Amino acid sequence: LLGADGRPRATIFAEMSALATATGSVNLGQGFPDVDGPPSVARAAADAILAGHNQYPPGPGIPELRQAVAEHQERHYGLTPDPDTEVLVTAGATEALAATVLALVGPGDEVLTLEPFYDAYAAVVALAGATHTTAPLRATPDGFRLDADALAAAFTDRTRLVVLNTPHNPTGAVLTPDELAVVARLALAHDALVVTDEVYEHLTLAGPDGARARHVPIATLPGMAARTLTISSAGKTLSFTGWKVGWVTGPEALVTAVRTVKQFLTYVNGAPFQPAVAAALRSDEVARWVTALADSLSRRRDLLCEGLRAAGFTVVPPQGTYFVLADAAPLGHADGAELCRELPRLCGVVGVPVSAFTQPGSAADDALRSWVRFTFVKRDDVLADAVTRLARLGG
């Protein structure tokens, strides 16, 4: 949790957003939408405040939201968690992850993630005193893909937990059923538990054939429901990232362990947001809004990818999330972190170096040294402005 100079370190997202503000740059770093979610959902939260939903909600979350989450899992994936014992509401996916890792592992245990990985995973594994091991995703003409041999080699008899993430931040990979089957087979063989971070579950994008990628939860694979905790949240799906309402679903014994830790992290959160999110998860109108968001993201992805290519980057288009990874090596920049510090001066755009999502010195760190992550969950005019600015880089 300390930087190379031994001082407390801000997250890369906070650092890069501050840089964007200080330099007046277009902020394509931290992933948050510049347009809020459905007004009807915002109104429901405001109504909940006025109706008096302002004191501590129940520890596991309000029954209405746990029921809505259970119905959501059944409607989309055929999973049937018991809302009373197998669903826990958390302060965003972030707390769900922290409570899960703290509940399930400790010193001597290994936690295996894909690499690159969302930065919070490394931090909570360190807080738990466990060891973080990784298996690389590799850039291919088909997007970033799992290396099955490297994954198999990364498992040891100490691998207690696999933290999976699909759709994947930062690569935008949506893991295929075949890739998930490899993870499942290895988790079963090594008797490891799986935590899967699915916050971008609804933000899958159109492929070359026009059809959107299909998100498959690993809990739906044979034998996996009994050893998997599935995490999601309202932040990305509803474009209310500041509300911090998340949830974890899975077998009762595991959810109970997570709840036991969670009660001493935040106890509860988001009293007026919980009924609003519950209603949103049940609303057909909101479901149509989310589909429209995903469709617009496909278009915005294409806009940014085209702009990045025109500026001279090599781009691997994502199948999900609202991030794209771009290699700056063809532009003569070997170090993405250095480039990200320079980008505001060079062209007035902020991105996030992929090295923020890798372990120093790892194979993935080496392979992705010159790569930068950009978000495209911005208005069209903001993206167009960013593309114009990026064009200055090559010239």
**Nearest Cα to Cα of residue 165 among 287, 320, 371, 366:** 320
In the structure, how many helices (H) and strands (E) does the chain have? 14, 14
**For ligand GLN, how many residues bind (rule: CB under 6 A)?**
5
Instruction: Give the separation between CA 132 and CA 116, rounded to whole angstroms.
Output: 12
197 binds, among ligand GLN, ligand PMP, none (CB under 5 to 8 A by kind): ligand PMP
Instruction: Give the separation between CA 64 and CA 66, rounded to whole angstroms.
Output: 6
The gap from C-alpha 265 to its chain's centroid, in whole angstroms, comes to 21
Question: Rounded to the nearest whole angstrom, what is the least distance from the CB of residue 372 to ligand GLN in the complex?
Answer: 13
Residue 8, amino acid: P
Instruction: Give the separation between CA 111 and CA 159, rounded to whole angstroms.
Output: 6
Identify any residues that bridge with 314 across adjacent strands, giving them in sequence order.
Answer: 327
Host H or E run for residue 138? strand 131-140
**Nearest Cα to Cα of residue 92 among 228, 203, 232:** 232
Q: Which is nearer to ligand GLN, 121 or 273 (CB)?
A: 121
77 binds, among ligand GLN, ligand PMP, none (CB under 5 to 8 A by kind): none
Per CB under 6 A, which of residues 169..198 are in contact with ligand GLN?
169
> Does 30 engage in binding with ligand GLN (CB under 6 A)?
yes
- Out of 27, 131, 159, 165, the only residue in the binding site for ligand PMP (CB under 6 A) is 165
Distances (CA, A) of 278 to 47, 67, 102, 117: 14, 8, 27, 29
- Out of 60, 61, 81, 92, the only residue in the binding site for ligand PMP (CB under 6 A) is 92
User: Tokens representing 342?
Assistant: 């320079």
- Out of 94, 196, 239, 358, the only residue in the binding site for ligand PMP (CB under 6 A) is 94
- Out of 9, 11, 64, 391, the only residue in the binding site for ligand GLN (CB under 6 A) is 11
Question: Rounded to the nearest whole angstrom, what is the least distance from the CB of residue 347 to ligand PMP in the complex?
Answer: 25
302 contact partners, CB below 8 Å, separation of at least 6: 317
**Nearest Cα to Cα of residue 248 among 117, 102, 44:** 102
- Out of 38, 83, 136, 235, the only residue in the binding site for ligand PMP (CB under 6 A) is 235
Q: Which is nearer to ligand PMP, 31 or 275 (CB)?
A: 31
- Out of 100, 166, 233, 269, the only residue in the binding site for ligand PMP (CB under 6 A) is 233
30 binds, among ligand GLN, ligand PMP, none (CB under 5 to 8 A by kind): ligand GLN
> Does 31 engage in binding with ligand GLN (CB under 6 A)?
yes
- Identify whether the C-beta of residue 174 lies closer than 8 Å to the C-beta of residue 210: no
**171-200 footprint of ligand PMP as x/- string (CB under 6 A):** --------------------------x-x-
Residues that bind ligand PMP (CB under 6 A): 92-94, 118, 165, 169, 197, 199, 233, 235, 241, 244, 246
Residues that bind ligand GLN (CB under 6 A): 11, 13, 30-31, 169
